[in-house]
Amino acid sequence: MKSLGDLMQIYADRYNLNDLEGIKETAVPGLCFYRSSKGNQRQPFVYQSGIIVLGRGRKQIHIGSQPVNYGPDDYLVVGVPMPLECEAFPEENEPLLGLSINVDSTLLHRLVNELEGAGFQAPCSSNQEGFGLTSVKMADDMLDSCKRLMLALHSELDTKILGESLLNEIVYRVLTGSEGHVLFNLAHHDGQYARVAKALNKMHRSYADGLTVQHLAEEANMSISAFHSAFRKVTLESPLQYLKKVRLNKAKELIQLEGRRVNDAAHSVGYTSTSQFSREFKRHFNMTPKGSAA
């Protein structure tokens, strides 16, 4: 069978995606295709929770003190949305190609319940306990599942009949892989990780509101001190640092993609002072809000 990167390129050829710069939904719900011909220099992003698979090119994520690297036939497990800095590198004059999988919560809970009912226990973390993002080299069974999913995407009929089940198989492979604990922790409502995830969801829904650490701790049903400690363990950020990054990234989208004026974007994401917004925007993105609109 061809390499995963070759199968992704065949998909791009078939559906005229060789000019794509960014991400596009596929015909399988929850599955997106990613392509970038030039990559990007180190810049802030927010990675949404899910599974990211690379077929070509390399990426380096900067979060905390240790960079996270991943490349062809690696996958990234993101348990909770993570503001971070990322740089992407094409290789051998070929574009970066990858897949992004949004893990449906209903599917996740069903698979976790079935696995635990069968006596399966997720292996303990090989990284920081509770950290919400990790890179994994594909085992043979995971790589085979991803290749069969890409092959199915080459055929509209195969996509319709097999696509969803193959996507479910990949989630199963991640759950039973070396870093499956990231998604297991997300499914356990009574655990600290899942409680922090609940607060993070509130942040991403209500970032423009006057959220405080107390509000977020109440959402997680934790004391302020316990919440602050658990939050930093999962995200490597304080709650207020994280919230600031969410607001700034959303404001950048409003300015760049919707053409909003700087003061309008600032107020839309929860800033009352445009000058404070501009200072923090420049510090975060190394450019002014007006410069980002150019």
What is the tens place of the pLDDT at every residue in 117-141?
Answer: 999 988 765 544 456 677 889 999 9
Average pLDDT over residues 209-233: 92
User: In whole angstroms, what is the distance from residue 120 CA to residue 118 CA?
Assistant: 6
33 vs 42, higher pLDDT: 33
Report the range of poorest mean pLDDT among 56-60, 149-153, 190-194: 190-194
User: In whole angstroms, what is the distance from residue 293 CA to residue 273 CA?
Assistant: 19
Assigned fold of 4-187: Jelly Rolls (2.60.120)
* 115-180-176 Cα angle (round to 5): 45
State residue 126's pLDDT score.
Answer: 52
Q: Sorting pLDDT into bands at 50, 70 and 90, what band is 31?
A: very high
How many residues make up the chain in this entry? 294
Average pLDDT, the chain: 90
Name the residue among 145, 179, 175, 181 with its Cα closest to residue 163. 145
User: Which residue ranges does the chain devote to CATH 1.10.10.60?
Assistant: 192-292
Assigned fold of 192-292: Arc Repressor Mutant, subunit A (1.10.10)
User: In whole angstroms, what is the distance from residue 249 CA to residue 269 CA?
Assistant: 9
User: In whole angstroms, what is the distance from residue 104 CA to residue 153 CA?
Assistant: 20
Please say whether the dihedral angle defined by the alpha carbons of residues 283, 41, 128 and 203, taken in this order, is positive or negative.
positive
Report whether 84 contacts 62 (CB < 8 A): yes
Average pLDDT over residues 31-48: 90
User: Which residue ranges does the chain devote to CATH 2.60.120.280?
Assistant: 4-187
Q: Which residue has the tokens 């002014």?
A: 288
Q: Which residue has the tokens 């690696």?
A: 74
Report the range of poorest mean pLDDT among 41-45, 65-69, 159-163: 65-69
